[in-house]
Structure 1
Amino acid sequence: MTKFHFLLVSVLLVLCHVSMAMAETKETNQRKTYIVHMAKSDMPASFEHHSHWYDSSLRSVSDSAEMLYIYNNVIHGFSTSLTAEEAQSLEGQPGVLSVLPEVKYELHTTRTPAFLGLDKANQLLIESTAGASDVIVGVLDTGVWPESKSFDDTGFGPVPSSWNGTCEEGTNFTASNCNRKLIGARYFAKGYETTLGPIDVTRESKSPRDDDGHGTHTATTAAGSVVEGASLFGYAQGTARGMAPRARVAIYKVCWLGGCFSTDILMAMDKAIDDNVNVLSMSLGGGMSDYYKDSVAIGAFAAMEKGILVSCSAGNAGPSPYSLSNLAPWITTVGAGTIDRDFPAYVTLGNGQNYSGVSLFRGNALPGSLLPIIYAGNASNATNGNLCMMDTLIPEKVAGKIVLCDRGVSARVQKGAVVKAAGGVGMVLTNTAANGEELVADAHLLPATTVGQKSGEAIRKYLFSDPNPTATVVFEGTKVGIEPSPVVAAFSSRGPNSITPEILKPDIIAPGVNILAGWSGEVGPTGLSIDGRRVTFNIISGTSMSCPHVSGLAALLKAAHPEWSPAAIRSALMTTAYTSYKNGQSIRDVATGKPSTPLDHGSGHVDPVSALYPGLVYDLTVNDYLGFLCALKYTGAQISGLARRKFTCDPSKKYSVGDLNYPSFAVNFQSSGPTVVKYSRTLTNVGSAGTYKVSIKTETQAVKISVEPETLSFSQVNEKKGCTVTFTAVGSLPSDSNSFGRLEWSDGKHIVGSPIAFSWKIMENKQQHRERKPENEEKGKYEGLPVNDSPYIQYKDLEDYKQQGYGTQGHLQPKPGRAGGSTDAPTLSGGSVNSQAEVPAADAISRIGIP
């Protein structure tokens, strides 16, 4: 037995030694990526070009290795894949300074490039690099802060020869403020001044300069240059860059302290078309009106004809249905979702309970010991004192305490200013039912955090049950890897489409919550007049932030596929979007805690890497859109107003709204309508030859779906094939409900997906759609104002607008605490913006900014 044990141990030792030797051999032979730094001045004279020398040096140690990149600016050298032995050998070659193994860095920044897959070695950035600097992104907004590092033009070549624009001068802005990155800037104020009087240049610059921050934020999100060390007070620390960092930027300032007016917007779009921009990014929106009355839709139609993709915000009136803006089918309508980054700040109560919130506060933290906490409603004699409105808190009851405030009506950050002015030392801001569990971070002026509705109710219950309640707030900085993500933001506006229910909107969602991007040096991160802090980057939320993400991604696709039309680019983004997480579960809606639907997320969350090679696209021409207008029974005059030409619908032709070659389907069954609905579609091959088979998924048994033909074969690029999709209502129809499905074409390599939305509750009188108000606006009234969940002060009409603090010329005469900041309103969406107002009169259009 002893000999057996000895033999067994010997065998095990031998096997262990062999295993270790094999592991060492495997480790030695395993290839890794290395960056090779070369002394370019040491290049032997026998080489005509440094790339030849690099290749020769590499061949001296490996016959199979290839250079991945050749660097000429950041370093002199190249990157390649080598074994450890080969790397060591190369380091001994003449002229080689060092051979360094590649290091994986985690980005702690706008983070959306990594979240969208743009920081992997993906083909989209590679394919778009060559033409990206010739692509011009035009941004209609509040202007630009040209000193931002995000407009650094280092490494940019000459301005594209296609550019026809200019750099207009004005107050605090000269032509020298433009460069090879920021190639143009204009401003438009005649419409504004006609309605509200001359701009007060002591309060804002009558020039392209951004005194607000919103425009700089959206422009740098779309196409900002790479900036290392970006953050807001240390939050989201990392390298910031726009979606298309090599694209050029052209700025069109159309929004002022009093709002954005359609006359100015139309002129800006007119000039942008003249200037030859390739993409127009517009984080603004108005009411719901027919397309021939909608200034943005009219301007966008002309832009589409010139091959310009127009990307617009969906609005921040969610989660109410029928709350979308920018519904025209030639506009790409973008909703908002979250990313996997958060800024946790926890509330610890005296009973030992902890509740998670979010905050961007940076300053002196609260003492380590627990402090008294009081509910604002118990520290005020005012109606709705729980909202922490200006001059509503009783200082004697608030001094030295943390105050629990309810969200709504006034700006979130302004509530903190009210608490601070009354002597409070901290704030816990709690969501109400209108906001649910959605958490939006703010750069508060005092130690403060925002918690969800459920946590707020629990904290309030504790305050009411404990005679001496105490609490503190602990700030945890930046966290990434948050799951699930994305989720649809509660504020993101929702369908159905109130103008043409047969067109599913929004088209897509993109990152729009807690987004880091460039900021104006003229205003603090909250936008409040009392906020003296100045930052170069800010973190804000809204569909104003998601829109420029798609604008920048469209610029990348335009660079990679310059021959693609705006409709083809949008189709690629829509049909490759994803609607579920890696575990197979559907993207969630933070407003309900349940799976989101196409009425919330459209085609899904943008996936730019997949969009590069979509396989097939649903393309559209100007004539297709004209046929769509005929189907709407627009008159010749109405169509001419959009198309800028005489056009007569063919009386012998049968037009159908549902036949517009859109990448999604919205089918509306009505009690008095047909039970069979047929939509025609045409698909264009933009990939290799292949055969695509169709598959259908649906959650309802009330509708039978068939596609004819079920197979489409393509032999060449740009080949087109048509199909008919038939929707047949089976049996009794569900009442007052929606249901959803999905149609996919696949050749085994590509999946060309389209959402389907069935509705049995669309109101038959379309005028009712247009006049319908978001539900939360109806139930959120307070002294004549809707629940303010945006960065803009709300006004009922122009007279009310003036009475709330504007003089006879409409200039803001600031009252204490009147600034806008990161606020809370269902009819607008966008970012932290100072003292902005929605002005329904004179066809004013408000920027889409956030709750």
Structure 2
Amino acid sequence: MIDTRKLIGAKYFNQGVIAYLKSQNLTDELPLIVNSTRDYVGHGSHTLSTAGGNYVSGVSVFGSGIGTAKGGSPKARVAAYKVCWPFHNSGGCYDADIFDGIDQAIYDGVDVLSLSIGSPPAEYYDDTIAIASFHALKKGIPVVCSAGNSGPSMATATNIAPWILTVGASTLDREFQAPIELGNGQRFWGSSLSRPLAGRKLYPLITGAQAKATTASADDAMLCKPKTLDRSKVNGKILVCLTGGSSRIDKGMQAVLAGAVGMILCNDRFSGFKIIADLHVLPASHISYNDGQAVSSYINSRKNPMGYLIPPSSKVNTKPSPIMAAFSSRGPNMISPEIIKPDVTAPGVNIIAAFSGAVSPTGEPFDNRTVPYITMSGTSMSCPHVSGIVGLLKALHPEWSPAAIKSAIMTSATISDNTMNLMLDGGSPIFAPATPFIYGSGHIHPTGAIDPGLVYDLSPNDYLEFLCASGYKEKNIRVFADENFKCPVFCSILNFNYPSIGVQNLTGSVTLTRRLKNVGRPGVYRVIVRRPEGVKVSVKPRVLKFWKIGEEKRFELTMTGAVAEGQIGYGTLIWTDDKHFVKSPIVVSSGFF
């Protein structure tokens, strides 16, 4: 007899990409689109195991980070819908395949949809994921999506429809440390999962710019681009490269081809403090921008600079943590600026999870290694962390709507790190505190989401009215509605019952209405407001009494004043009965965010 609780389902959808390749006369790439559910990239295996992988003991990546691995919903049955395909040396996910995959998942009766894919923001009626996820919502299926990896630039967040739970990426309190030691005794805490450097001795150091080939520019050589390095200068040395212009792994391969024994990868100013533990093809360490500046200064001030790469090791309980990843895409929301995106942040840096045996850990043609587990970083990795939590919440509270589950996760999130200070922004050159446009409502707190006390609930009809309030015509809204939907005579985005609060163009006074539903024991909740600078905030009533589960209460929040031109004001609204703390970020501006 088969135990169906342990079954894994898999289906593939490729008619969209095949049609595209034929239309572009790229038939020579059609053999890459195989009729198979097998993961030839590794991304799908990694994200699926993060969301629903079972308990596996003794997991490590090349001996680092050893421990027991599990997904967010470790007892779940999982189903994979393959909609992304390789071509043009990279790959893509085509609208027709995405829609077919989501439609099939809805038909199959999945409980949660986890989508670690995305595309640039578009009007919702032109956004395939927004349309398809709305149809999932109507069937009671929560949809969790990644925010994108285009940070630290602002206004880059994807999957920004209000019915999607959008996830940014932040760090864990575990690091894979690969320290660098210079000849003058200085030590810098880099990160890597590469093999150790042979011999406990100092090696000569050289920068890519110093090692440039005669036909290359110093800038390209510093980026360690292909054919920019002179082997006679690099051979037997540790090469220092700068991020940008090519993949981090390929820089290591160029170092190998040039005869380097190791590589120090330094962040450019844009990449800031966030360092990644890559599985480099040679001994290597990835260091921050500031540390890279110090290493370069040492090399340029010495006649014979020397250094050593200390073997990688894992360290837990690191502080501060979490820190927002530099790559994590940020708001404001370019389609609906009143809706703060992302919604929350979750671990997305150096995440250990399963990997496909059909591809090397780097995916590069020169890499013939295979590994059962690997670290990967991205909002693709943070998304399934939240999907796993959603799965657990659905099991614990089957009566909750997707919006209630989303509210529970958002209002229980925290904005503090493990030093009890505000979370920092890894994409900031000065390591400044992060804001709601970076972390949304905060970093996930799963145990808090189990018992949030109160939730901001929404029905599919509420979302349709949101589209009306956004100025969408009824003919555009029909792609979301099952029947002919008529917009009400009056509706306002300000009264849309979202768990976070965004107001733009505040130049006087504005009043918002919200509803809270009791999902816990009877209780009396009082309000606490941390107002944005320059804005007066009042709430009526200031106390809400709930006598039974499912009871709803309304309140009004009035904001008066203005923030300085070009500035943004941040605040917090909290409802508490001294046990639960139902928190909502407030973001206010005097113009477009």
Common topology (TM > 0.5): yes
Give the match for residue 334 of structure 1: 167
Q: Which runs of 5+ in 2 are unaligned?
A: none
1:434 aligns with 2:266: no
Taking the aligned partners of 1:244 and 1:201, their CA distance within structure 2 comes to: 36
Query: Mean alpha-carbon deviation: is it higher for 609-618 or for 675-684?
Result: 675-684
The 8 Å contact of residues 43 and 355 in structure 2, kept in 1 or not, is answered as yes
In structure 1, how many angstroms separate the alpha carbons of the residues matched to 2:185 and 2:466?
A: 62
Task: Decide whether the 8 Å contact of 1:404 with 1:427 is kept in 2.
Answer: yes
- How far is 1:218 from its partner? 0.1
Aligned to 1:710: 542
Question: Partners of 1:458 and 1:464 in 2: how far apart?
Answer: 10
Residue 625 of structure 1 pairs with residue 463 of structure 2: yes
Provide the rounded CA distance (Å) in 1 between the counterparts of 2:238 and 2:423: 36
User: Which residue does the alignment assign to 2:531?
Assistant: 698
Q: Does 2:190 correspond to 1:357?
A: yes
> Do the aligned partners of 2:410 and 2:441 also contact (CA within 8 Å) in 1?
yes
Residue-by-residue CA offset, 1:736-793 (whole Å, 9 max, x unaligned): 0112110011112111111111123416xxxxxxxxxxxxxxxxxxxxxxxxxxxxxx
**2:17 is the counterpart of 1:181:** no
Q: CA 1:288–1:646 in structure 2 vs 1: closer, same or farther (change >3 Å)? A: same
Task: Report the alpha carbon displacement of residue 648 of structure 1 after superposing the two structures with TM.
Answer: 2.1
Structure 2 letter corresponding to 1:648: K
Q: Which residue does the alignment assign to 2:579?
A: 749
Give the CA deviation at 1:699. 4.5
Deviation at 1:206, TM superposition (A): 2.4
Q: How many residues align?
A: 579
Residue 158 (structure 1) aligned with residue 4 (structure 2): yes
Superposition deviation, residue 439 in structure 1 = 0.9
Deviation digits for residues 221-253 of structure 1 (CA, Å, limit 9, x no counterpart): 000011111111111111101010011101100
Give the counterpart of 1:635 among 462, 470, 473. 473
- In structure 1, the partner of 2:238 is 402
Poorly superposed stretches of 4+, deviation over 6 Å = none
* Equivalent position of 2:20 in the other structure: 195
2:287 pairs with 1:451: yes
- Look up the match of 1:64: none
**Shift in Å, 1:658:** 2.0
- In the aligned structure 1, how far is the partner of 2:12 from the partner of 2:245? 31
Q: C-alpha separation between the residues in 1 aligned to 2:323 and 2:589?
A: 23
How much does 1:386 deviate? Answer: 0.8
Kindly provide the amino acid, as one letter, of the partner of residue 67 in structure 2. G
Matching residue of 2:554: 722
- Name the amino acid aligned to 2:572: R
SS of 1:357's equivalent? coil
Instruction: Tell me if the contact between 1:318 and 1:490 (Cα under 8 Å) persists in the aligned partners.
Output: yes
Q: Is the alpha carbon distance of 1:426 and 1:582 closer, same or farther for their aligned partners in structure 2, counting shifts above 3 Å? A: closer
Q: Aligned to 1:610, which of 445, 448, 454?
A: 448
Which one of the candidate residues 225, 230, 235 is aligned to 2:54? 225
Is residue 2:128 matched to residue 1:292? no
1:601 matches 2:426 = no
**Change over 3 Å in CA distance of 1:343–1:641 after alignment to 2:** same
Q: Is the 8 A contact 1:403 1:428 kept in 2?
A: yes
Cα distance in 2 for partners of 1:246, 1:707 equals: 43
Q: Residues 395 and 582 (structure 1 numbering): CA distance in 2 closer, same or farther, change over 3 Å? A: closer
Q: CA deviation at 1:389?
A: 0.9
| Distance across 1 between alignment mates of 2:444 and 2:2 | 28
Structure 1 residues not aligned, in runs of 5+:
1-154, 160-179, 764-851
Relative to structure 1, is the Cα distance of residues 720 and 475 closer, same or farther in structure 2, using a 3 angstrom cutoff?
same
Q: What per-residue deviation string (whole Å, max 9, x for no partner) do you get for residues 357-403 of structure 1?
A: 000012x5232221111110121142321111112111111111111
Contact 1:568–1:617 (CA<8 Å) still a contact in 2?
yes
Q: Deviations over 1:124-165 (max 9, x none)?
A: xxxxxxxxxxxxxxxxxxxxxxxxxxxxxxx99435xxxxxx
Looking at structure 2, the residues matched to 578 and 597 of structure 1 have their Cα atoms a distance apart, in angstroms, of: 12
RMSD: 1.6
Please report how far the alpha carbon of residue 646 of structure 1 lies from its aligned counterpart in structure 2 after TM superposition. Answer: 1.6
Q: CA deviation at 1:461?
A: 1.1
Counterpart in the other structure of 1:738: 568
The answer to which of 193-202 and 400-409 deviates more is 193-202
What residue number does 2:206 align with?
374
Q: Determine the C-alpha separation between the residues in 2 that align with 1:421 and 1:760.
A: 54
Partner Cα separation in structure 2 for residue 485 and residue 584 of structure 1: 10
**2:487 aligns with one of 636, 640, 649:** 649
Match for residue 156 of structure 2 among 286, 299, 323: 323
Letter in 2 for 1:318: G
CA–CA separation in structure 2 for the residues paired with 1:761 and 1:584:
33
Indicate the residue corresponding to 1:562 in structure 2. 398
Alignment partner of 1:419: what SS?
helix
Q: 1:470 to 1:584 in 2, by over 3 A?
A: closer
Maintained 8 Å contact 1:181/1:247: no
Aligned-partner Cα distance in 2 for 1:181–1:423: 48
Q: Does structure 1 conserve the Cα–Cα contact (< 8 Å) formed by 2:320 and 2:419?
A: no
Offset at residue 645 of structure 1 (A): 2.6
Mapping for residues 521-532 of structure 1, pairs under 5 Å:
521-532=357-368
Alpha-carbon separation, structure 2, partners of 1:323 and 1:504: 12
Q: Secondary structure at the match of 2:447?
A: helix
Tell me, in whole angstroms, the C-alpha distance in 1 between the residues paired with 2:31 and 2:477: 43
Secondary structure in 2 matching 1:594: coil
Is structure 2 residue 68 aligned with structure 1 residue 239? Answer: yes
| CA deviation string 1:555-601 (max 9, x = no partner) | 00000001111000010001111111355311111222121111111
Separation in 2, partners of 1:407, 1:208? 34
Cα distance in structure 1, aligned partners of 2:133 and 2:539: 33
1:482 and 2:307 correspond: no
Q: Give 1:280 deviation, angstroms.
A: 0.3
Q: CA, structure 1 residues 193+226, in 2 after alignment: closer, same or farther (shift >3 Å)?
A: same
Match of 1:539 among 375, 390, 393: 375
Q: Deviations over 1:307-357 (max 9, x none)?
A: 000000011111111010000000000001100101111111122211110
Alpha carbons 1:738, 1:761 under 8 Å: kept: no
Tell me, yes or no, if the aligned pair for 1:402 and 1:425 is still in contact at 8 Å.
Answer: yes
Q: For residues 371 and 204 of structure 1, what CA distance do their matches in structure 2 show? A: 46
Question: Secondary structure of 1:273's match?
Answer: helix
1:666-705 mapped onto 2 (5 Å cutoff)? 666-669=502-505, 674-700=507-533, 702-705=534-537
Match of 1:661 among 497, 516, 530: 497
2:143 equivalent in structure 1: 310
| Deviation of 1:476 (Å) | 3.8
Residue type at the aligned position of 2:571: G
| Aligned residue in 2 for 1:277 | 110
Question: Cα–Cα, structure 1 residues 683 and 214, in superposed 2: closer, same or farther, change >3 Å?
Answer: same
**CA deviation vs aligned residue, 1:488-510 (integer Å, no higher than 9, x gap):** 11111111111111111110000
Contact 1:204 1:211 in 2 (8 A): no
Whether the 8 Å CA contact 2:197–2:261 is kept in 1: the answer is: no
**Percent identity at matched positions?**
46
Distance apart, 1:203 and its partner CA? 5.1
Is residue 574 of structure 1 aligned with residue 410 of structure 2? Answer: yes
Q: How far did residue 201 of structure 1 move?
A: 7.9
> Whole-Å Cα distance in 1 between the matches of residues 287 and 234 of structure 2?
20
Counterpart of 1:742 in structure 2: which amino acid? T
Partner of 2:81: 252
Taking structure 1 as the reference length, the TM-score comes to 0.67
- Do the aligned partners of 2:21 and 2:30 also contact (CA within 8 Å) in 1? no
Q: Distance in 2 between matches of 1:201 and 1:360?
A: 35
Provide TM-score, normalisation by structure 2. Answer: 0.95
Q: Is the 8 A contact 2:144 2:164 kept in 1?
A: yes
Native 8 Å contact 2:197 2:262 kept in 1: no
